[in-house]
Structure 1
């Protein structure tokens, strides 16, 4: 009996070490998404059941992007993306938070509305939620999946809904939900964000897919020297946006659903917060004043319940 107990104890230790090794592999893969990149964006509609559907032109663009880790705790890694234009222009871009075994997910419905959904324990165990935010840190989409490390490959994938992509939301009104098939995998030169998307009309009668789309966003490492101005710019902005994230976290924590408004006083939410960030840096506002003003602005655009 004693030998059996010892064997079981050793077996438990081996399992624990194995699980920790997988967890650290996950964390290392996520942290590898940070860096200095040239990003190419390529999208093409590939199929439509309706033969009368007119395919839209392919989309191609590129830019330079710095992805910097702004939070690193054992079960959460937050990466802020900064778009660099020329030598003296930086745009706060999207953010991705990776959270391990999160029991809820903020699911997009339609009409700028997200609803919190509780997941089953089996859907959560060993998995990471990728939480993607817009430039003003408002919600965009969340997807859950398992990082897989096999034969030298490191990849993660999920299926989730989101609003229209930025490249189309001001140009199209023939669909209102993008059902995203997201696949992220590391490459020798950086990483790839591959997508298999359905463009969906969501109504009271259900969902109707009008077209399918293939997308590739390729992040290729480039010389860090190009991002010297971006580093200086972010050094002056990051304290404000840390406070803004806390303001949003409080909203996400206490509300089961969130609906975002469009323009208020002739401005979109990101324009208001970008103005506050600039004023915060120039006028050296204290943190308490920043927080109060930011919370007031965000609440003006958020219809939470």
Structure 2
């Protein structure tokens, strides 16, 4: 190979590497900007059905205040914990999102509180981020993979996946059992938007039937941090316990090809029992192994072994 040709190839390789690194840094910056203090508005409306006998459900609107805490910021993984304010001195541990770069494993929801670990090939994960969304008890909800795009000063990420029913409908409806999500997250001048194009699906072992389509917007708008003083103090006491809970769940995820959970035991969902343990741990001298042992036992009761 001539020296000039070699130098040209070397220069092209360097430019491609530099471009990929710059893109990766932009991705991380966009994800980290999802953290902060927000007023959140939730708006959902059913839009279309092929079933002429179907009656559209009323539009859904709600609002509240939410704090999104960066729990972990490592090179290829960012963990964001959401906390929902329900009053001046009342907080609920809300959903959690983990962002993992070029993640080769995806936990895919099927139906009936069942998820399966799926292995992705190298081409599918190259340059892409998996968003892992977890329930309030840090149990599984849905995971999806997509590419962050940064064009003309705009920053967005989108993906498709299946998930359980949203909490706003989980206790109110039984006419469908899978939400097929079309997720789009994009940054705005005042925060960020989570836009959805969803299908409410009736799934059996052999087929899917779309019951109705839905459009959704969750808008996160930055607000003054003063409102969140109690929430910050509350989370400081609770955070060590929930770090241990995440570690226990990670053990479970790594050891299960298929994960299936019971909804309730003796009328109690899993999150009620873990919330009680969290409150207890916040009042006592912290003992990591003791709390992890108790958490393992509680979660194990809800696991359905095949």
* TM-score interval for Structure 1 and Structure 2 normalised by the shorter chain: over 0.9
Residue 184 of structure 1, CA deviation: 0.3
Larger deviation: 8-17 or 125-134?
A: 8-17
Contact 1:257 1:304 in 2 (8 A): no
Match of 1:85 in 2: 86
Residue 266 of structure 1, CA deviation: 3.1
Contact 2:113 2:263 in 1 (8 A): no
Structure 1: 5+ residue runs without aligned partners? none
Provide, for residues 35-57 of structure 1, a one-character-per-residue CA deviation record: whole Å limited to 9, x for no partner.
00000000000000011100000
Residue 304 of structure 1, CA deviation: 4.9
Provide, for residues 69-108 of structure 1, a one-character-per-residue CA deviation record: whole Å limited to 9, x for no partner.
0011111000000001221001000000000111121000
**How far apart in 2 are the matches of 1:15 and 1:200?**
42
**How far apart in 2 are the matches of 1:122 and 1:254?**
25
Alignment of 1:215-294 (within 5 A): 215-294=216-295
Match of 1:161 in 2: 162
Residue 121 of structure 1, CA deviation: 1.8
TM-score (norm 2): 0.98
Alignment of 1:1-305 (within 5 A): 1-304=2-305
Q: Provide closer, same or farther for how the CA distance between residues 31 and 304 of structure 1 changes in structure 2, counting only shifts above 3 A.
A: farther
Structure 2: 5+ residue runs without aligned partners? none
Residue 285 of structure 1, CA deviation: 3.6
Residue 14 of structure 1, CA deviation: 1.2
Contact 1:128 1:146 in 2 (8 A): yes
**How far apart in 2 are the matches of 1:9 and 1:268?**
58
**How far apart in 2 are the matches of 1:204 and 1:224?**
48
Moved over 6 A (4+): none
Provide, for residues 7-47 of structure 1, a one-character-per-residue CA deviation record: whole Å limited to 9, x for no partner.
22222111111100000000000001000000000000000
TM-score (norm 1): 0.98
**How far apart in 2 are the matches of 1:193 and 1:162?**
16
> SS at the partner of 1:37?
strand
**How far apart in 1 are the matches of 2:247 and 2:302?**
17
What count of residue pairs does the alignment treat as equivalent? 305
> SS at the partner of 1:45?
strand
> SS at the partner of 1:114?
strand
